[in-house]
Chains A and B, each alone.
Chain A
Amino acid sequence: METSPPFRFLLLSCLLSPLSTFASLDLNQNGQSDVWENAFQATGLAAEEDSDGDGMTNLQESIAGTDPFDPRSRLLPAIGGQSGNEFSLFSTEAMEKEYTLWSSPDLSPDSWTIQEQWIGRGDPMEIRLSLPDSSPVFVRLEVMDVDSDGDGLSDWEEHQLGYDPDTANSMRLPTHDYTRAADSVGSVNQVSISAVDSTTHEGWPDPAVFAIRRTGGVDALSIHLSVTGTASIGSDFQTIQPVVEIPFGSNTVWVEIVPLEDDLTESDETVTLTLLEGTHYTASEQDAASITIIDDSGSISAKEAARFLTQATFGPTPELIQQVQTLGIEGWIDDQFNQPIGLHQPILEAIDWTAEGGGPYAFHKMRAWWEQAMNAPDPLRQRMGFALSEIMVISDSGAPERTPRGMLNYYDMLLANSFGNYRELIEDVTFHPCMGIYLSHQGNQPPDLELGRFPDENYAREIMQLFSIGLWMLAPDGTLITDDQNQAIPTYDNSDITNLARVFTGMSWGAGNTDVRWEFFWPDVPDGYNYDDFYVSPMKMWNGPFSESFQHPSGQWDTREVFYHDQGSKTVLDVDLPANDPSAPEDDYAYRDVGRALDTLFNHQNTGPFISKLLIQRLVTSNPSPEFVGRVASAFADNGSGVRGDMQAVVKAILLDPEARSYSVSEDPHYGMQKEPYLRFVSIARAFDAASESGIYEVYWLNDQYGMTPLSSPSVFNFFSPNYQPSGPIKDAGLVAPEFQITNEVTGILVPNHFFSSIWYQISWNGTHPNREVFFDFSEEIALIDDTDALLEHLDITLLHGQMSNELRELLYFTLTRPDVTNQSDTERTKLAIYLTVSSPEFAIMY
């Protein structure tokens, strides 16, 4: 038998924390929380009245944390959503209040049982009830305040004020939360205005920012402003409102001045904001402030220059910013092309190893690396060379570890080719002895079926997969080409590898004589020869024929003709590489065979987009648009003068592209890249002139902290994959973020800890040679410490190219003006400001 249940239950309205012990700040002792009174501007409402006519008295609303002037904000539930036996109750849930749902079959005092108890999260409350077929049900909804930390403020009050309900000293302040709240509630609002980001530029619309701050109260305040100055509102900068509100519980509101570009050539113009009279506040002495709008007829903005240098170098310095502003971005790049190469190997060679007590050891490479990272005349080339060292990888966690000189010689080779031609680069990489031992093609021999010996395939594979064409066929814009089944198409198969491995045979030490067979294995060198020199001159080709002794199975010795470079034809990527015809041998066949193979890779359709995308990811952004990749790849294909592979054209195409240069890209939440952790440290060092008295940089052994150090990749695949996707929103958006592959629970702690020890103590120690200890120089910052806004503006330009968010700036301002910080030394406070800036998530990302 079916019974439909009409309203067979009665709803009791609820609440009334029956206990008077619930926590509350009530200085005016009217039974209503002072925080609630401030939050809803409801001070002094009559307790028994119902100001908004929603059926709940003002006292009840104060207990429920609801708005006494909004009838939709009430605890008393509305009934709705009936479907069969199911009903919904709708109510307003406040944050951090405790709710209890009781039910009873008959209203008798002992029959009430708790059905549900929860802590409010501020969401719309919907309670679903499923009724039995017969018998009535009575429910009651109760709300209670909770004081989790026992500090005398309810959790709801603490949430409203932005405090932490779980600790009596929120933000670890020395002041107890109750005292802090009581002081605020009982004070008069005093308001000041500061220009916290005091310039903006017509050509770079990063806004100038005023901060209007109050001390004293917590209520919402409407601040009235007058706008004066030489700039015209609405034509020189976007209109701003004459009245701004500091929300309840906040202490700051920002006014941003966004410049409007015009075609006029003007002098710099100013905007001055002055605080006007208003209710609930008085203006402090600091009642006016000005910012400057710089005209774009002169040099580019310092912020724009700093952002460009963050991409194009190991980090901006005041001198470089000035240079870029003087020369313009393209002019500066052209100037960099003509700078001498900041070579690394000579720095290592100049070290007196006897005085040093031995060496060179692997770590000594970093001495040269740091000296050039800090001081080289060609910072753009240094940045490019490092990017190439992460693509055409050699590493001292492999065979080259034995030769620091050789590795720096390789690095210098990358630098020398950074502004050259990719074809030359790939050839120099192929013939470099450190690559020869790292990917083991040095001493590689043709197949010998009798011995069951085959050429080493290592280099053949990696030069294709990593240094030139990649695994999958690419369109000119770097996107995957798919077949008719929507599958990616491999660029090469195993036969390409075995064929190419035969090309890379006959290559050995440059110190040897290629006319002498056995010097392929071990060059004949004079007495006293430094065998480490094997690693600093390019490898050579031993072709043959050579005469070799061998033993017949019968035991009889005989001689035969051998070649160390494979003489047969090879087919690589559908290109036939001819055999060496014994009747008409080609001059320099072995070299030319390798050259033809490298030409094949160089001319492959993938090489431009593949290399272009990798370089964009190293310098500018993790997820360039196909159009961006396409533009750079097209510069690779033709520099405008019909030359393919011109690296200068590629560098310019990357750094001058609108996707690198325009201000608006940084507003796209999908744009940007994590600055490589180690390079973040280098940029801090550059920003604060890290140096030792002797000029020597002993910055060694940081691989564990950073998950990377130059020339120390765990494998030829670099420290991270260009395709790495961290879990979460980046992966969900289908994006990659390579550097996040080394961002984990270990480096997430050790990287900021190393920043910490470097800032608070020093960067390197040396008990024997104290003049080699490397320190930061914070003198410029310490001089600013008593003007917090000026210090933060300086750090913004120095470290964040002017893009410090208002929230970060305000957090730092709050932190530096806390009573337990202002009583510390200038040095401590300065270090704190710097540390919190460089360990901030904003500093970690380039966008």
Chain B
Amino acid sequence: MSKLISRRKFIGQACCSAVGSTALFSTLLNLRMANTAAAQSVPAGSDYKALVCLFFAGGCDSYNMLLPYGDAEYAEYAAIRGDLALSKANGEILPLLLNQSIGKDLGIHSGMPEIQALCNAGNAAWIANVGTLVQPTTKEQYQAESVILPLGLYSHADQIRQWQTSVPQDTSSVGWGGRTADLLHSLNNNENISMNISIAGNNTWQSGNEVFEYVVSPGGSTGRSRYEETWGVNPAMSSAIDSQLTHDYQNLFVNTFAKKGKGAMDAHAEFSSAIDESATLETAFPEDNYLADQLRMVAQTIQARSALGMNRQTFFVQVGGWDHHDEVLGTMGTMLPAVSQAVDAFYSALAEINAQDNVTLFTASDFGRTLTSNGAGSDHAWGGNHLIVGGAVNGGQVYGTYPDLYEGNLQDTGRGRLIPTTSVDAYFGELALWFGVSPQDLPTVLPNVTNFYTPTAAGGPLGFMNLS
């Protein structure tokens, strides 16, 4: 049925007026555009925007990343963190200069001076105590279980998935980046390479109903050995590979494997030629820094945006190793500087190609960690603090509500596991609006968003993006 419909050639009232030649392909294209969610979310113009998700896999102890600096707040912090507290006296905290007071003086980990500079220059901001929520939740409601709570709280696998789907009440694996791409991919002029590109393998965030992530390595894409060679057995080999991968197989697993193999080859051909065409970045990225390697590839891909025919892209990069049940102070002391330097180089590279206002990087993680210590580390918790970087960020500010940290405070469900004061929906909603999702379509991307924000309201849910 659908096949027949797709083959119909609709020739309407134009039939008797003099129109030029109309290619079948454009007819189909128009049909698809019309089908794409009533096209509500397709803004006019061909401006470029990219969202970069930096995921801290393992659950970043982010109350040692954004933390109190003022004396009273610091005392509270030091008391609950015990042997996990950074020492203000020893200069382990860098103060933040906020545009506007939030009633608390905050600082960041001393390993992140580059981020401090970006923040003080207005190109980076923070979201405090953000986490997965289905609806606004108080401690009483949590204890009485009188609200719907996220499934599998405090579990890595569940919370990673929910941070990426923004639907904590079910186990779906369609990510909000994927749903966004489902709405917006028609803005791009490329049908072979996904607008969602991952430098860190398959992930949930970029997996939509129609659009899925394209995975490349930090070195770019790679082709099959000797595929282009014309000597010896190579032409026969390449031709046989093509036949194997384009054959339709009855078994779903065999067929899916073949399609994936073919997709990898096609995407490489197009991706590599676009990257090769575009000028190499001059910005120096730190060496021996895996995040920097990933972000350099992101910047190089953004550089190739015209060759790739892209107007909207998302990128997924990841740093693992944050599950600090042990040695949290020492390990974060080496990991955060690597993050800070890599993000700083990325921002410089964007400035080099004049795309700093078109690209927004945001961080995410499984969860925050317990404020209390288990002796040398911290355990799985809930709300945490996150960073947004880009020229379109209303920077130099901490958004949301930075909570009290004393033990047993209003957000504390025990051991300093804090109920988020800001939902991931508010955080992501702001990013999605900036990216070009219309207020009407926002609930499609973020099904729970109306529990926290009225999409038709003026301004974004939190105000950290310049939406004008």
> In the complex, are the beta carbons of A494 and B173 less than 8 A apart?
no
Give the shortest distance, in Å, between B406 (CB) and chain A (any CB): 11
CA distance A750 to B156 in the complex (A): 29
> In the complex, are the beta carbons of B253 and A128 less than 8 A apart?
no
Q: Which of A173, A454, A455, A735 contacts B235 (CB 8 A)?
A: A173
Number of A-B contacts (CB under 8 A): 278
Main secondary structure of the interface of A (DSSP, over half): mixed
> In the complex, are the beta carbons of B157 and A137 less than 8 A apart?
no
Q: How large is the interface on A (under 10, 10 to 19, 20 to 34, 35 or more residues)?
A: 35 or more
Instruction: Tell me which of B40-48, B64-72, B126-134, B210-218 binds A.
Output: B210-218
Instruction: Tell me which of A214-222, A269-277, A815-823 binds B.
Output: A815-823
Instruction: Tell me which of A295-303, A372-380, A725-733, A789-797 binds B.
Output: A725-733
A756 at the interface (CB under 8 A from B): yes
Instruction: Tell me which of A227-235, A602-610, A671-679 binds B.
Output: A671-679
Given contacts A744-B201, A756-B226, contact A669 B240 (CB under 8 A): no
B146 at the interface (CB under 8 A from A): no
Given contacts A728-B259, A749-B223, contact A114 B20 (CB under 8 A): yes
CA distance A131 to B238 in the complex (A): 51
Given contacts A452-B80, A820-B235, contact A131 B7 (CB under 8 A): no
Q: Which of A399, A452, A730, A741 contacts B256 (CB 8 A)?
A: A730
Give the shortest distance, in Å, between A678 (CB) and chain B (any CB): 16
Which residues 230-287 of B have a CB within 8 angstroms of A?
Answer: 230, 232-233, 235-241, 243-245, 247, 249-261, 263-265, 267-268
B13 at the interface (CB under 8 A from A): yes
> In the complex, are the beta carbons of B244 and A811 less than 8 A apart?
yes
- Per-residue contact bits, chain B 321-352, to A (CB 8 Å; 1 contact, 0 not): 00101100000000000000000000000000
> In the complex, are the beta carbons of B252 and A451 less than 8 A apart?
no
Given contacts A440-B325, A453-B82, A811-B244, contact A743 B7 (CB under 8 A): no
> In the complex, are the beta carbons of A471 and B155 less than 8 A apart?
yes
Most buried by A among B9, B10, B241, B256: B256
Q: Which of B13, B238, B268 contacts A749 (CB 8 A)?
A: B268
Which residues does chain B contribute within 8 Å of A240, judged by CB atoms? none
CA distance A123 to B1 in the complex (A): 12
> In the complex, are the beta carbons of A465 and B326 less than 8 A apart?
no
CA distance A743 to B214 in the complex (A): 11
> In the complex, are the beta carbons of B258 and A456 less than 8 A apart?
no
CA distance A704 to B79 in the complex (A): 44
> In the complex, are the beta carbons of B253 and A845 less than 8 A apart?
yes
CA distance A619 to B349 in the complex (A): 47
> In the complex, are the beta carbons of B257 and A745 less than 8 A apart?
no
- Per-residue contact bits, chain A 424-461, to B (CB 8 Å; 1 contact, 0 not): 00000000000000011001110000011111111001
CA distance A90 to B58 in the complex (A): 61
> In the complex, are the beta carbons of B240 and A815 less than 8 A apart?
yes
Which residues 167-226 of A have a CB within 8 angstroms of B?
Answer: 171-174
Which residues does chain A contribute within 8 Å of B82, judged by CB atoms? 451-453
A765 at the interface (CB under 8 A from B): no
- Per-residue contact bits, chain A 715-738, to B (CB 8 Å; 1 contact, 0 not): 111000100111111100101010
Which residues does chain A contribute within 8 Å of B3, judged by CB atoms? 123
B434 at the interface (CB under 8 A from A): no
Given contacts A116-B24, A749-B264, A749-B265, contact A445 B235 (CB under 8 A): no
> In the complex, are the beta carbons of A753 and B224 less than 8 A apart?
yes
Instruction: Tell me which of A31-39, A316-324, A551-559, A829-837 binds B.
Output: A829-837
Which residues does chain B contribute within 8 Å of A724, judged by CB atoms? 173
Given contacts A490-B152, A748-B264, A832-B237, contact A454 B415 (CB under 8 A): yes
Which residues does chain B contribute within 8 Å of A749, judged by CB atoms? 221-224, 264-265, 268
> In the complex, are the beta carbons of A808 and B156 less than 8 A apart?
no
B289 at the interface (CB under 8 A from A): no
CA distance A452 to B371 in the complex (A): 10
> In the complex, are the beta carbons of A494 and B216 less than 8 A apart?
no
Give the shortest distance, in Å, between B413 (CB) and chain A (any CB): 8
Which residues does chain A contribute within 8 Å of B268, judged by CB atoms? 745, 749
Give the shortest distance, in Å, between A724 (CB) and chain B (any CB): 8
CA distance A454 to B417 in the complex (A): 12
Q: Which of B202, B207, B373, B414 contacts A453 (CB 8 A)?
A: B373
> In the complex, are the beta carbons of B254 and A842 less than 8 A apart?
yes
Given contacts A443-B375, A453-B82, A844-B254, contact A113 B9 (CB under 8 A): no
> In the complex, are the beta carbons of A745 and B263 less than 8 A apart?
yes
> In the complex, are the beta carbons of A128 and B10 less than 8 A apart?
yes
A124 at the interface (CB under 8 A from B): yes
> In the complex, are the beta carbons of B380 and A399 less than 8 A apart?
no
Which residues does chain A contribute within 8 Å of B225, judged by CB atoms? 752-753, 756-757
Which residues does chain B contribute within 8 Å of A414, judged by CB atoms? none
Give the shortest distance, in Å, between B93 (CB) and chain A (any CB): 20
Which residues 1-46 of B have a CB within 8 angstroms of A?
Answer: 3-4, 7-16, 18-24, 27
- Per-residue contact bits, chain A 82-106, to B (CB 8 Å; 1 contact, 0 not): 0000000000000000000101010
Q: Which of B9, B263, B415 contacts A116 (CB 8 A)?
A: B9
> In the complex, are the beta carbons of A752 and B379 less than 8 A apart?
no
Which residues does chain A contribute within 8 Å of B261, judged by CB atoms? 748, 752, 841
Q: Which of B11, B221, B370 contacts A130 (CB 8 A)?
A: B11
> In the complex, are the beta carbons of B252 and A735 less than 8 A apart?
yes
Most buried by B among A172, A740, A812: A172
Which residues does chain A contribute within 8 Å of B251, judged by CB atoms? 669, 671-672, 845, 847
> In the complex, are the beta carbons of B257 and A674 less than 8 A apart?
yes
Which residues does chain B contribute within 8 Å of A27, judged by CB atoms? none
Which residues does chain A contribute within 8 Å of B15, judged by CB atoms? 103, 115, 129-132, 137
> In the complex, are the beta carbons of B152 and A117 less than 8 A apart?
no
B372 at the interface (CB under 8 A from A): yes
> In the complex, are the beta carbons of B249 and A841 less than 8 A apart?
yes
Most buried by B among A173, A457, A672, A841: A841
Closest to B271 in A: A745
B463 at the interface (CB under 8 A from A): no
Given contacts A471-B155, A622-B253, A748-B264, contact A114 B7 (CB under 8 A): no
A119 at the interface (CB under 8 A from B): yes
> In the complex, are the beta carbons of A114 and B21 less than 8 A apart?
yes
B153 at the interface (CB under 8 A from A): yes
CA distance A815 to B215 in the complex (A): 31
Which residues does chain A contribute within 8 Å of B383, judged by CB atoms? none
Which residues 752-793 of A have a CB within 8 angstroms of B?
Answer: 752-753, 756-757
A349 at the interface (CB under 8 A from B): no
Which residues does chain B contribute within 8 Å of A714, judged by CB atoms? 57, 320
> In the complex, are the beta carbons of A828 and B374 less than 8 A apart?
no
> In the complex, are the beta carbons of A844 and B257 less than 8 A apart?
yes
> In the complex, are the beta carbons of B267 and A116 less than 8 A apart?
no
B158 at the interface (CB under 8 A from A): yes
Given contacts A744-B215, A811-B240, contact A456 B379 (CB under 8 A): yes
A121 at the interface (CB under 8 A from B): yes
> In the complex, are the beta carbons of B236 and A815 less than 8 A apart?
yes
Closest to B258 in A: A841
Which residues does chain A contribute within 8 Å of B325, judged by CB atoms? 439-440, 456, 458
What are some 26 contacts across the A-B interface (CB < 8 A)? A101-B11, A128-B10, A130-B10, A135-B16, A452-B79, A452-B372, A471-B152, A725-B173, A726-B260, A740-B257, A741-B202, A742-B201, A745-B221, A745-B264, A746-B217, A746-B221, A749-B268, A753-B225, A756-B226, A820-B236, A828-B233, A839-B244, A841-B245, A841-B249, A841-B255, A841-B258
Beyond A452-B79, A847-B254, 10 additional contacts (C-beta under 8 Å) are: A103-B16, A117-B22, A171-B243, A172-B236, A455-B374, A730-B252, A745-B260, A749-B264, A815-B240, A820-B236
Which A residues are closer than 8 A to B by beta carbons? Answer: 101, 103, 105, 113-119, 121, 123-132, 135, 137, 171-174, 397, 399, 439-440, 443-445, 451-458, 461, 465, 471, 490, 494, 497-498, 622, 669-674, 704, 707, 714-717, 721, 724-730, 733, 735, 737, 740-746, 748-750, 752-753, 756-757, 807-808, 811-812, 815, 818, 820-821, 824, 828-829, 831-832, 835-836, 839-842, 844-845, 847
8 tightest CB-CB pairs across the interface, nearest first?
A748-B264, A172-B235, A118-B24, A744-B215, A440-B325, A841-B258, A171-B239, A745-B264
